[in-house]
Structure 1
Amino acid sequence: MKKLILLPSLIFLFSCENKNKESIDVKSSSDSLQNISTKDSLKNNSPQNIDEIKVEYESLNNQLIAKKLDSASFDYECDEISGNVVYYSSNGELKSIKHFYADSHFSSVENYYLKNGKPFFIFKDDTVWNFDGGTPEKPETKDEVEQQRIYIVNEKPVECLEKKFTIKSSSKNNPKPENVQNIQSKNCSYSELQKIFEVLLKNKDKKGKTTCIQ
């Protein structure tokens, strides 16, 4: 899988059948950015602090939710991993990239929010699932979810938040992601995601379906 643009620590070897996970809605990345007064975008300026990141994020996320941005996408297959990349733009300027990929027991969604062609906020949502009891006719599953939120100023992370929680198909009291508390990441870095972003950017003109991207 040397051609695949995935973090080495996120590659899992499983033999069970594939479980598909739909791409997250853009609103799910916003729980740590709530209670922000509605303001205009920062015009042509890149955000220089967390408050400005929140303002810029709110403006862009509202456009995504309202489906006001143009979009283009392609799919890829690479060594048992299926992926999809969607590029969102306005007046020819790239505003956001959503990257989804999955294998048999793992799926991930990366959302890159851009200003002047550079990420200022990244939301990453990973899920590893396994069988968790039940019967062959009605198996039960358990999802281990890990989310990351990275705030970026001048191409450097200024804050990294993470949250982890478990969802069980047999439980009626699963946690709501928005109610799980964010904690400060001990390793505030996005170098691996930056590499993936650069590969995605290089492939923005692809269409249809392709093999491994690099």
Structure 2
Amino acid sequence: MKNLLLISALIFTISCKDEKDKNVSNSSNAISSKVKSHSLSLENDLSSVDGIKHEYSKVNSQLVEKKLDSVGFKYECDEISGNVVYYSDKGVLKAIKHFQADSHFSSTENYFVNEGKPYFIFKDDTVWSFDGGTPEKPITKDDVTEQRFYLVDNKTIQCLEKKYTLRSNATSNPQSENVPNKEMKNCSIAELQKTFDVLMKNKERRGDVECTDGL
């Protein structure tokens, strides 16, 4: 009888200890989960220019290293040819690249996306024209305009622009990274937002299409 009481007391003690350890473990896991979740939210903070730059840099590195899945389509519309590429990571859309051109103009729009909304847009436009020379050996120049838009909830918090010219006969042309950015006076993204909406609407398209409304 005495041994039975001792065994019962021992089992009760062990049970209490296991329950306590379990509670401590659950509490520790909950704290760890909160810390991890908080850490992730900080890592992907897209409410500031610095946070957007960090996320853009990460996704752009994946693009350069070809680590993202890609699908898209090409189109012809009113003498303008273009193509659209959608980049995703494990089924989650990360970026859209939209290129279009005619005989003297080309434009590339890169939309970096989080939860279906753009947080950074990089637009690169080039207009080329003849700039002297001879019919046999003409000189051309490219007038380049780069625009960068930092967005929070579809509203710009900063927009930058740089312009420079590239000449075919120049021994040294300006490099984009050496041209200073200037704050834009007009930060409207109304037209870009319309284009983005059309791109999202057509994200299931594949192959070649005649014309896409809005592009």
Q: Which residue of 1 aligns with 2:83?
A: 84
Q: What is the CA–CA distance in structure 2 between the aligned matches of 1:156 and 1:53, rounded to whole Å?
A: 13
- Structure 1 runs, 4 residues or longer, greater than 2 Å off: 40-46
SS in 2 for 1:123: strand
Task: Work out the CA distance in 2 between the residues paired with 1:101 and 1:212.
Answer: 12
Matched letter for residue 91 of structure 2: G
CA deviation after TM superposition for structure 1 residue 142, in Å? 0.6
Q: For each residue in 1:18-41, what CA deviation from the matched residue of structure 2 results, as whole angstroms up to 9, or x when unmatched? A: xxxxxxxxxxxxxxxxxxxxxx97
Q: Which residue of 1 aligns with 2:12?
A: none
Instruction: Name 1:49's counterpart in structure 2.
Output: 48
Secondary structure of the structure 2 residue equivalent to 1:85: strand
Pick closer, same or farther for the CA change 1:187–1:173 going to 2, 3 Å: same
Partner of 1:177: 176
**Greater RCO, 1 or 2 (C-alpha within 8 Å, sep 6+):** 1
* More helix per residue: 2
RMSD: 1.6
Report the TM-score, using the length of structure 1 for normalisation. 0.78
1:93 CA drift (Å):
1.1
- Equivalence for 1:121: 120
SS in 2 for 1:167: strand
Kept in 2: contact 1:96–1:113 (CA 8 A)? yes
Would the aligned equivalents of 1:70 and 1:88 in 2 still touch at CA under 8 Å? yes
For 1:43 and 1:81, the matched residues in 2 are separated by: 42
**Superposition map of 1:59-208 within 5 A:** 59-208=58-207
Question: Where do 5+ consecutive residues of structure 1 fail to align?
Answer: 1-39
Would the aligned equivalents of 1:44 and 1:116 in 2 still touch at CA under 8 Å?
A: no
Instruction: Work out whether residues 162 and 179 of structure 2, in 8 Å CA contact, stay in contact via their aligned partners in 1.
Output: yes
Q: Which amino acid aligns with 2:142?
A: D
Instruction: Please report the TM-score for the alignment, with normalisation by the length of structure 2.
Output: 0.78
Distance 1:44 1:206, change over 3 A: farther
